[in-house]
Amino acid sequence: MSGYNAKERFIRSLEGKKVDKVPVCSVTQTGVVELMELTGSKWPQAHYDPGMMASLAIAGHEIAGLEAVRFPFCTTVIAETLGCTFDEGSIDTQPYQLDFPCKTKEDAENLSLPSNLAECRRIKIMLQAAEIIKNTISDDIPLIAGMIGPAAIAFYLSGAKNYLRWCITEPELLKHLMKLGTEVCIEYSNMLFEKGVDAVVIIDSEAGPDILPPPLFTELVLPEYHLLTAAMKGHSILHICGDATDILESMAESGFEGLSVEERTDLSYAKSVVGERACLIGNVSPAATLLSRSRDQIKKEAKQCIDDGAGILAPGCGIAPRTPVENIKAFVSARDEYYEEK
Ligand SMILES: [Zn+2]
């Protein structure tokens, strides 16, 4: 059972097949300041320049040792494409939202999608970055792209207040925005798969119980996930921030091959619910552990995740920009030690 390369191991894990050891990577953001300084590809420019995006993403694998290349580093590509505006952020802060297009019900009803997604500025940058990465890395390293999902898209488009209000008063309207979101995710994912991306991570924390009541998840979001995963022509992962415990059963039936959860979701409990229906990904705390704890403690928690049922060992959410590269290396080497100690 040995002799798998990183890509084979990653894909086999998502497909629920046996592997010699669990892959260790990040399906969430990997840009850290140390890597930005080493490569010269710094935020905020690396969000908007395909060459810089590629070199910073590749450094997560080549320098920090993660067994995948993962891009981009923000969650604003689709939202900006659909009319939201953002501040670019800084070297160690993500871009943040300034404004959104759906102030009123009428705005939401009349929102239309751009006619040619591939030509939209931010999406074009992503497609160019995918090409550069594919031409640079060896073919045995998996390439992972992230994008927000239908609920997050509805949230960004309508603003937090409208989203929370409309999920009670205007669920049909929210559903309409989520449907537009699903359409965009399908088209955009498939463009990325065509460029050689191996897996797309749908980041949809606004569908999670911290924000949306679980019955609304089942009613509004789950059908969108079924449509989305049926139409995605490549490997699919769902990432939900916060405590996803109450929707684990639905997540397991959503059609996503990988389920990435934060440390607030208990991994061994998640494994008992999800079983073999999907590959659990996670869930060492990026802030409490990877950023701040000792390397021994990082390794201990990483090994515990494997014991708890992680099919892919990964941080629970995006890596904090000030995380030392040595901590990420310790996280990666924990996986090797785990199997040596067996
Ligand atoms: Zn997260």
CA of 308 to the centre of ligand 1 (A): 19
CA of 29 to the centre of ligand 1 (A): 9
Q: Computed from CA positions of residues 290, 294, 298, 304, in that sequence, does the dihedral angle turn out positive or negative?
A: negative
Fold annotation for 6-340? TIM Barrel (3.20.20)
CA of 262 to the centre of ligand 1 (A): 6
Distance CA 140, CA 137 (A): 8
* Predicted local distance difference test score (pLDDT) of residue 140: 97
pLDDT digits (tens, 9 = 90+) for 134-180: 999 999 999 999 999 999 999 999 999 999 999 999 999 999 999 99
DSSP string spanning 152-221? HHHHHHHHHHHHHHHHHH-HHHHHHHHHHHHHHHHHHHHHHHHTT--EEEEE-GGGSTTTS-HHHIIIII
In degrees rounded to 5, what are phi and psi of residue 207? Answer: -90, -10
Distance CA 160, CA 168 (A): 13
Distance CA 117, CA 114 (A): 6
CA of 106 to the centre of ligand 1 (A): 31
CA of 342 to the centre of ligand 1 (A): 31
What distance, in Å, lies between the first and last C-alpha atoms of the chain? Answer: 16
CA of 265 to the centre of ligand 1 (A): 11
DSSP β-ladder status, 143-148 and 69-71: parallel
CA of 341 to the centre of ligand 1 (A): 30
Task: Give the start-to-end residue ranges of the domains of the chain.
Answer: 6-340
pLDDT digits (tens, 9 = 90+) for 110-135: 999 999 999 999 999 999 999 999 99
CA of 340 to the centre of ligand 1 (A): 30
Distance CA 95, CA 74 (A): 7
CA of 1 to the centre of ligand 1 (A): 32
* Predicted local distance difference test score (pLDDT) of residue 13: 98
State the average pLDDT over residues 10-23.
97
Distance CA 103, CA 155 (A): 12
Q: Is the pLDDT of residue 56 over 90?
A: yes
Interior angle at CA 145, CA 139 and CA 146, nearest 5: 165
CA of 144 to the centre of ligand 1 (A): 16
How many other C-beta atoms are found inside a 10 Å radius of the C-beta of residue 169? 11
Distance CA 311, CA 113 (A): 36
Structure tokens at 261: 């959860």
CA of 120 to the centre of ligand 1 (A): 26
CA of 296 to the centre of ligand 1 (A): 24
pLDDT digits (tens, 9 = 90+) for 219-264: 999 999 999 999 999 999 999 999 999 999 999 999 999 999 999 9
* Predicted local distance difference test score (pLDDT) of residue 196: 98
Judge contact between 71 and 49, C-beta under 8 A: no
CA of 237 to the centre of ligand 1 (A): 13
CA of 326 to the centre of ligand 1 (A): 22
Q: Is the pLDDT of residue 17 over 70?
A: yes
Q: Is the pLDDT of residue 92 over 70?
A: yes
- Does residue 319 come out as left (phi exceeding 0), alpha (psi in the -120 to 50 range) or beta? beta
| Cα–Cα nearest to 39, from 11, 1, 73, 16 | 73
For ion ligand 1, residues whose CB falls within 5 Å = 241, 317
Residue 227 is which amino acid?
Answer: L
Task: Return the H-helix or E-strand segment holding 136.
Answer: helix 121-136
Tokens 């997540």 found at: 251
* Predicted local distance difference test score (pLDDT) of residue 2: 63
In degrees rounded to 5, what are phi and psi of residue 69? Answer: -105, 130
Structure tokens at 101: 């297009």
Q: Is the pLDDT of residue 1 over 70?
A: no
CA of 28 to the centre of ligand 1 (A): 7
CA of 2 to the centre of ligand 1 (A): 32
Q: Is the pLDDT of residue 342 over 90?
A: no
CA of 207 to the centre of ligand 1 (A): 12
DSSP β-ladder status, 199-203 and 235-240: parallel
* Predicted local distance difference test score (pLDDT) of residue 88: 98
Distance CA 154, CA 180 (A): 9
Q: Give bridge partners of residue 97 from the DSSP assignment.
A: 86
